[in-house]
Structure 1
């Protein structure tokens, strides 16, 4: 299996067709994607100003892979520090993890960030390095205000589950307080804001700006509850 760095070099290779460079970026995402592959790709299309037609701005691929690379370097450094700390704890006879678990080892199953998997437009409004630094600070025991994922300090939004409410971050849809029933409630994507459209970059113009006629921006800023018919609706706090 080829490495992240090998495919990063391919993204930088201006002699390759743009579709092959894009494929190399996708492979890099398969190796490292802090928000999950789909949500991380959506984030990079926006942060790197990736146009719908890649031929319009091939350097956007380099901008995207470099942001991803910077975040990966930070995560690898965190991993080394965490491993060194665990070795020291085990050497002192403390085999049980006493602090927060490593964020990169957490399972997506029943994760508070579940919405990022099912709606690629839902993810923190941070750059990838900012997100990794924030998670590293929490891992080191820092007490940070706001949403653990993105730092948003606004009151949580309420998503109806039909028999209760889930409290979620307004900026990234991370679950801050689950439904009292204890069951896992999946957040489905808004119509028109699914992976197929994101993969085609329908949400972007050829100038590398968000497409004002695509439902993605509205979807990314909406926190959704489930109606009785199973469809999703906006659930406002206090209702």
Structure 2
């Protein structure tokens, strides 16, 4: 499997067939999908109007990739800092993280996981991702209110009624 940057280059390559460029954009989601694969694809397709017949608007792929890369830029420094902190803790014999983090330090899947691909935040990915990471860094408790939209009437272990985000992600719903 190639890396996110290598796959992004394939999406931007206008000499490639637009259908292959669309496949490359979907492959980018294997590396970074903040809402989960299907919900992130649905968000990008809706926000950038990616048509079924991609030949009608191949530039929609580049617009979608720009948004995905901007969100990834928000995550990378925090993931690198978390990884550096983990290495330091391991060097001192402490092998477990202090607290669970809401993102995968090797990817970025499920930062704002949406179990229903059709229901996800409508704001740009970098805004939503930044909001969730800032709230987690500030020690916000996702049991009290939604980290994305601020809804205070959350149902335990269920996705937010307003934005569709499941706190804690797919494997650890809060």
TM-score, L = length of structure 1: 0.57
Q: What do the CA deviations read for 1:23-74 (whole angstroms, capped 9, x no partner)?
A: 1111111221111111100000122122232222111000111111121222
Instruction: Tell me the distance in 2 between the aligned counterparts of 1:151 and 1:142.
Output: 16
What is aligned with 1:76?
76
Structure 2 residue aligned with 1:169: 160
Inter-partner Cα distance in structure 2 for 1:37 and 1:168: 16
Cα root mean square deviation, aligned: 3.1
Give the secondary-structure state (helix, strand or coil) at the position aligned to 1:68.
helix
3-state SS of 1:169 partner: coil
Post-superposition offset of 1:86: 2.9
Count of paired positions:
162
Contact 2:149 2:163 in 1 (8 A): no
Contact kept? 1:154, 1:170, Cα under 8 Å: no
Is residue 44–residue 64 contact of structure 2 (8 Å, CA) maintained in 1? yes
Q: d(CA) in 1 for partners of 2:121 and 2:132?
A: 12
Asked which structure has the greater CA Rg, the reply is 1
Higher strand share: 1
Aligned residue number for residue 141 of structure 1:
138
Contact 1:103 1:135 (8 Å CA) reproduced: no
Question: Which structure's residues are more often helix, by fraction?
Answer: 2
Match of 1:125 in 2: 122
On the 8 A contact 1:103/1:139 being kept in 2, the answer is: no
State whether residues 125 and 171 of structure 1, in contact with CA within 8 Å, keep that contact through their aligned partners in structure 2: no
Unaligned stretches of 5+ in structure 2? Answer: 168-172
Check 1:91–1:6 CA distance in 2 against 1; reply closer, same or farther (3 A cut). closer
Counterpart Cα distance in 1 of 2:89 and 2:76: 20
**Structure 1 gap ranges (5+):** 106-110, 159-164, 177-183, 185-239
| 1:94 positional shift | 5.0
The 1:61/1:168 distance shift into structure 2, 3 A limit, reads: closer
1:12 Cα deviation after fit: 1.0
